[in-house]
Amino acid sequence: MTQTEVAEVMEPGGAQGVRRRDFIEVAAVSAAGVGALAVLVPLISQMAPSADVLAESSTEVDISAIAAGQAIKAVFRKQPVFVRHLTPVEISEADKVPLSELRDPQTLEERTKPGKKEWLITMGVCTHLGCVPLGTGQGEPKGEYGGYFCPCHGSQYDTAARIRKGPAPKNLVVPDYVFSSPTVVKIG
């Protein structure tokens, strides 16, 4: 910077001087703005799931005691999940249905793990408005298609838990899961 330029900057009444003054004030107000934004981070993220909730985001289910034709209701992320051991009859019933007849076309293969076609694992949350369908417990109505029946608005699911009748738009959701051993399923 040359002497004249310095003189211009230092000149209190000059245009440069005014600009330097404004700069400091703008910088101070900006710093306050940055600080206020930074404070929003904890205030907003405190509402996100806490560590204990996140730690329960996966569930292990022991399936060794579920005989063919039976189903259990397990808890996954505070919601019911249905683990169903399909019988060969139920499997063939599911396979018989042409995809063109389905509202949400999917085969049973696509809804189970390779080589584990008899294990149907779905969320127990009706895709209509979130009720819990019946059909897991002994003696509960399984609906016209032998799968699940939602008592709230009459949605009917088949043996592959696909929507067949009633207001629900989609099949019961298949969560992410892996067989961590032949008898233990890790969901989530």
Partner 1 sequence: MSFPWANEYKPKHPAMVWLDEKLPLPRFVYNAVGAGYPVPRNLNYMWNFGVLAGFCLVIQIVTGIVLAMHYAANTEVAFSSTEHIMRDVNWGWMLRYAHANGASAFFVVVYAHIFRGFYFGSYKAPREMIWLLGVVIFLLMMATAFMGYVLPWGQMSFWGAQVITGLFSAIPLVGDGLHQWLLGGFAPDNAALNRFFSLHFLLPFVILGVVILHIWALHIPGSSNPTGVEVKSESDTVPFHPYYTAKDGFGLAVFLFLYCAMLFFFPNALGHPDNYIPANPMQTPAHIVPEWYFWPFYAILRAFTADLTIPFTHIVLVPAKLLGVLAMFSAILVWFALPWLDTSPVRSGHYRPRFRKIYWALVIDVVVLGYCGGSPAEEPFVMISQIAAAYYFLHFFIILPLVSMTETPQPLPFSITESVLGKDEAATLAPAE
Partner 2 sequence: MPRLIAALVGAFFTLCLLIAFGTGLVSYISEPPAKTVEAAFHKAPNEDFHLQSDGPFGTFNRQQLQRGFQVYKEVCSACHSLSYVAFRDLKEIGYNDAEVKAIAAGFKVPVYNAATGELKTRDGVPTDHFPPVVYGGSGSPPNLSLITKARHGGAAYVHSLLTGYTDQPAELLKKYPESKTPDGLFYNPYFANLNIAMPPPLVSDGQVSYKDGTKATVDQMATDVAAFLVWTAEPKLEKRHQTGWPVLGFLLFASVLAYMAYRNVWADKKH
The residues binding partner 1 (CB under 8 A) are 25, 28, 32, 41-43, 45-48, 50-53
Active site (annotated) includes residue 153: yes
Residue with the two structure tokens 């929003």 = 40
CA 78 to chain centre: 12
CB-based contact 119:169 (threshold 8 Å): no
Q: Which two tokens stand for residue 8?
A: 């211009």
Please count the residues of this chain forming the interface with partner 2, following the rule CB under 8 A.
16
* Minimum CB distance to partner 2, residue 65 (Å): 15
Told to check if 176 binds partner 2 by CB under 8 A, we report no
Query: What is the contact mask toward partner 2 in residues 131 to 170, using x (rule: CB under 8 A)?
Result: ----------------------------------------
Q: Does 32 bind partner 2 (CB under 8 A)?
A: yes
Residue 129's binding partner out of partner 2, partner 1, none, with CB under 5 to 8 Å set by partner kind:
none
Beta strands in the chain (DSSP E): 59-62, 71-76, 79-85, 119-123, 146-149, 156-158, 163-165, 177-181, 184-187
3-state secondary structure at position 43: helix
Which does residue 24 touch among partner 2, partner 1, none (CB within 5 to 8 A, set by kind)? partner 2
Task: Report the C-alpha gap between 172 and 111 in whole angstroms.
Answer: 10
Judged by DSSP in three states, 116 sits in coil
Contact 78, 132 (CB under 8 A): no
Closest to partner 2 by CB, 101 vs 176, is 176
Interface with partner 2, residue 41, by CB under 8 A: no
Q: Which residues bind partner 2 (CB under 8 A)?
A: 12, 21, 24-25, 27-29, 31-32, 34-35, 38, 51-52, 55-56
Catalytic amino acids?
153
